[in-house]
Structure 1
Amino acid sequence: MFSSKMPKLNGICDKSFILQIALIIPFVLICLPSSISRRSDFGDNVPSIVDLIPSIGFLIVISFLREVLACNVFIKLGDKYIPRKPEWTDEFRKFRVERFGLTLFKTMYYFIITPLGIYLFRHEDWMPSALFGVGKSDLNALWEDFPISQPVKYMALYYCFELGYHLHSLMFHLYLPARNDFYETLLHHLVTVFLVVLSYINNCARIGVLVMVLHDIVDAIMYTAKSLNDISNDYVVIPAFSMLVIAYARFRLWVFPRYVISAAYNAKNFIPETATCGYLVWCMFLVLLVSLYGLHIYWFALIIDMIKKLVTNQGIVDPHATKKAVGQEN
């Protein structure tokens, strides 16, 4: 199942990602039993992990669609519209075409899930206006009646959809040939899956929605920009990457700590004394969110570097490329 060859650790960044993974996994395993048994603390009003079983169906469907669309239909589009440059080998152009197919598939997914998430929860009082909420934008409402907060309509279905996609991403990441960004992306996938599952079964799904909507907004723009970059049309590539920088800075560097991390920190005031390992689970959530924010900062620096190379015609090195392809990426 796993990639045939794990990439070597490349400098201090990769080592820090591995260290975070090594620390986070035991932390999650310690918190998991008490999280799964949360119903024994507070009754049937607390969501059950059984609610997330349909995510397996979404995992299968999304994986199937990826094979059909990304690996077949969209590749044909890429072969038609991606130019043939004299300095490109056939192997490198094939890599660009395959990458286009995958990024277009992800663009399609995020242009479905992003407006869906905003539409479903925009009227909730806990959805901030910074994420297009039209209610009271009251972050304290995230913890109203916690830990027995009343379920929100379509919340479980939305969670299953998102969890199915992120499980599919983790599965393909481990199965396909290792890329330059293997360790940081592995950290990202693990943190995301842990946050989705644990936020739901601890009845913290409201703040989980904020995390997912916030990330989906940026990913929709990011994969659009990547798709356009493979077509190599500067008239659309430069504006697309400019929009990405603005969206990334606004949502992942400002909205995320300002609204999500601060609200998560404030949750300590709502943890009942009767919650088994309540404060330990709270610490775990903060660790996961801070780890995610660290990745945001790291990736934003890479995006800025990509923009500089794009503007100065140095070419863009995609961190999602395999090492073999990187040699011709410039």
Structure 2
Amino acid sequence: MTSTVFSWIWSESFWLPGNITWADLEHPPPGAEYPRLGQVLYAVPLSVGVLVLRLLFERLVAKPCAHILRIQSGVSRPAQPNAVLERFYKSRTFPDVKQLEGLSKQLDWDERKIQRWFRLRRNQDKPTILKKFSESMWRFAFYLGIFIYAIRHLWVSPWMWDTKECWYNYPFQPLSPGQYNYYVAELAFYCSLMLSQFTDIKRKDFNIMLVHHLATIALITFSYANNMLRAGTLVMCVHDVSDIFLEAAKLANYAKCQRLCDGLFVLFSMSFFLTRLIIFPFWIVYSVLIESWEIIGPYQSWWLLNGLLLVLQFLHVIWFYLIARIAIKAIFKGKVSKDDRSDIESSSEEEVDANGRNHSSRGLNSKDASHNNGHPKVNAGDH
């Protein structure tokens, strides 16, 4: 039974092009090695080490940098202690109209006062600016470091300049130490992101990001298993470029450097459009779809990998739509506007009373605590 399941999972007709068997890959040339799935699985326990490294980085590097930049924790004003409302809050953080009426009668409080209590209580559970700064600085450091490592490796690789080199003599392409290190580092990082996503700042695109992480992990793993490493390194490198500018823009935002934030956001928007809507679909996806078809022909796992690439491209379109909305607002307002994925409320949040009327607190428009002093939150397209 076990052998049957194993043979089904590792079916040669699924993983390999026609007329090629696993036995053909067991004897690489002297001094060479072909990828084996067991090698990249070391990234799973390594992801725990990445999480530990992140905690150390945030404590020993990010927080001291935040102190130098005078970034405070920004602790929200606490809600008035109330046992009844606290019990209700544990089951529901946004009471509806009928629940507001019931709580108002029970406590003899005005509904407006109860709404304000829930807003303040929700803000107590939201992450501070210091936490968001530390999270962004960790991602900025990783993306910058891994991109530098990748570009040094790819710059001397022929497939960066001629994508057809990804498919010549496929799958008999030796594994280089640079490819292995790059793959393991990226896979460990994205595994750690998927785990930490449940404890990090929760944004409106939580489900989209979860799909993104799962698709990325699957893409990295599958491309390694069937030795599509050359195309895989190009995909990962292209995705890391815009993230560097995104996280840098966030850092400038949290440090209240508005002009720097706006400039970095422009660079992020341009790099996102260039790499993910131009280079990725018309260079890399084209190579995997068309050039590989012409050179090696399609096979079962080929269809799966192309499907994963198209899922990523679909997500890119969604994210660029969000980015474009921010950019359009910036044109009219003269600065980067609030992100539609804003993840924190402030005391300026618009409230809706029992009759459905909007009440803005003191004329402020921002919902994000990081918008104080005119500094918006920048986090669209994050992955």
The normalised TM-score by structure 1 is 0.76
Q: Tell me which amino acid in the other structure corresponds to 1:102.
A: E
Using the TM superposition, give the Cα deviation of residue 71 of structure 1 relative to its aligned residue in structure 2, in angstroms: 5.5
**Deviations 1:275-310 (CA, angstroms, capped at 9, x unpaired):** xxx622111111111110111111112112223444
The whole-number CA distance in structure 2 between the counterparts of 1:149 and 1:326 is: 59
Change in 2 beyond 3 A, CA 1:82/1:319: farther
Judge conservation of contact 1:110–1:219 (CA < 8 Å) in 2. yes
1:52-83 residue CA offsets vs partner (Å, 9 max, x unmatched): 13323531222112112236642454366366
Q: 1:16-40, CA deviations, whole angstroms, 9 ceiling, x for partnerless residues?
A: xxxxxxxxxxxxxxx9643797662
Higher percent of residues as helix: 1
195-204 vs 147-156, greater mean Cα deviation: 147-156
1:321: which partner in 2?
Answer: 343
1:126 aligns with one of 145, 149, 159: 159
For the residues of structure 2 that align with 1:163 and 1:118, how far apart are their CA atoms?
17
Structure 1 residues 198 and 150, CA, compared in 2 at 3 Å: closer, same or farther?
Answer: same
Gapped runs of 5+ residues in structure 2?
1-7, 29-33, 79-122, 350-366, 372-383
Q: d(CA) in 2 for partners of 1:166 and 1:251?
A: 19
Matched residue count: 287
**Contact in 1 for aligned 2:73/2:131 (Cα 8 Å):** no
The alignment status of 1:211 with 2:188, answered yes or no, reads: no
Q: How does 1:12-161 map to 2 (within 5 A)?
A: 33-34=10-11, 40=22, 42-44=24-26, 45=28, 46-70=34-58, 73-78=61-66, 81=69, 91=123, 95-127=128-160, 137-161=161-185
After superposition, residues 207-286 of structure 1 pair within 5 angstroms as 207-266=231-290, 267-271=292-296, 279-286=299-306
The verdict on how the C-alpha distance between 1:315 and 1:82 changes in structure 2, with shifts beyond 3 A counting, is: farther
Q: Which runs of 5+ in 1 are unaligned?
A: 1-30, 128-136, 273-277
Larger radius of gyration: 2
Q: For 1:107, what is the secondary structure of its paired residue?
A: helix
Alignment partners' CA distance in 2, 1:239 and 1:99? 20
Does structure 1 residue 165 correspond to structure 2 residue 165? Answer: no
CA contact (8 A) 2:223 2:229 kept: yes
Contact 1:139 1:263 in 2 (8 A): yes
Distance (whole Å) between structure 2 residues aligned to residue 63 and residue 106 of structure 1: 12
What do the CA deviations read for 1:185-236 (whole angstroms, capped 9, x no partner)?
A: 0111011001100001101010000000001111111111111122222221
| The 10-residue stretch of structure 1 (227-236 or 106-115) with the greater mean CA deviation from structure 2 | 227-236
TM-score, normalisation: structure 2: 0.66
